Amino acid sequence: MPSHFKIKEYCPLVFRNLRERFGIDDLDYMNSLTKQPDDIDSPGRSGARMFMSQDSRFFIKSLVSEEVEQMHHILKQYHQYIVECHAQTLLPQYMGMYRITVNDMETYLIVMRNVFSPRLAVHRKYDLKGSTVARHASDKEKFLTSLHLMDYSLIVGIHDCERGEQEAAEGDQQGDVDEEYSDTENGLEENNEAEAVKMVPTPPDSPQPNFFSPFTGEIDPDLERYAIKSSESHYQS
């Protein structure tokens, strides 16, 4: 870390209460965020930087100062809504908001729960926009409208089970190759070429650490919180 840096947490008590209501343990939260996150490509036009925690539980997005002000504006109503709906919502689940200052350069970040499963690859993504045609809502349901938030959509991800099984099998084969390299690098090969072979680098496609139990076909509500298991009948209807 740089020699001069500061971290400020905004509204720590409110966000801590939100994490409790969303079932997030503070120690797990800290462990997830204190490991180097993965930089991911931004799918939007805002130019914001986006990251994913190593265990894929949390999504981290950079904000501009105007967006920080907007979050402060909606936070009270957002918290009240989460309490009233007992945290059962399709809205983004906000975990914390921070300002990081490094050598007088400020970066604002917000942490959200990853809506997709942290252990299943998402092979297709769709960003579904709303429509006013034949749509009605009661006054109680107009939470976003009352805050003048109009730009929202529903993100849908699809995990192809057959493709996932194939990728898992290919990963196991790659793991066998990695083990051969590891054995060689540990000096287990006893011949005249051992020293030369020991210089072979680890293959670049080495599997990433697996933080969760492998998927066996059954949805885990703690990991696949919004998942809907599909079947052939859904495609035929």
Catalytic residue selected from 61, 129, 176, 205: 61
> Quick check: is 198 catalytic?
no
Q: 98-145 pLDDT, tens per residue?
A: 999 998 899 999 999 988 877 777 888 877 777 667 667 677 666 877
Q: Indicate which CATH number applies to the domain containing 76.
A: 3.30.800.10
Residue at 26 is within a domain: yes
Residue at 86 is within a domain: yes
190: three-class secondary structure by DSSP: coil
Residue at 61 is within a domain: yes
Q: 188-227 pLDDT, tens per residue?
A: 343 443 333 333 333 333 344 556 667 766 777 777 777 6
Q: What's CA 194's distance to the chain center, in Å?
A: 42
Of the candidate ranges 7-21, 79-93, 134-148, the one whose mean pLDDT is the lowest? 134-148
Q: What angle in degrees, to the nearest 10, is found between the helix axes of 12-21 and 65-84?
A: 40
Residue 82 CB partners (closer than 8 Å, separation 6+): 18, 21, 22, 89
| pLDDT at site 86 | 93
For residue 9, which of 25, 30, 27 has the smallest C-alpha distance? 30
> Quick check: is 151 catalytic?
yes
Domain around 10: 5-118
| Phi, psi (deg, nearest 5) at residue 33 | -90, -15
Residue at 101 is within a domain: yes
> Hunting for tokens 């105007």 — which residue is that?
66
> Hunting for tokens 């501009």 — which residue is that?
64
- Contacts made by residues 210-219, CB under 8 angstroms, sequence distance 24+: 210/119, 211/54, 211/55, 211/56, 211/118, 211/119, 212/55, 212/118, 212/119, 213/119, 214/119, 214/168, 215/119, 215/120, 215/164, 217/161
* C-alpha gyration radius of the chain: 22
Strand partners, 130: none
When divided into structural domains, the chain yields a total of 1
Residue 180 has pLDDT above 50, yes or no: yes
Q: 20-55 pLDDT, tens per residue?
A: 999 999 999 999 998 889 888 765 556 788 899 988
Cα gap 12→2, rounded to integer Å? 24
Residue at 68 is within a domain: yes
Catalytic residue selected from 41, 139, 151, 176: 151
| pLDDT at site 234 | 52
Residue at 84 is within a domain: yes
Considering only the C-alpha atoms of the chain, give the largest distance between any 2 of them, rounded to a whole number of Å: 80
| pLDDT at site 77 | 92
Cα gap 101→79, rounded to integer Å? 27
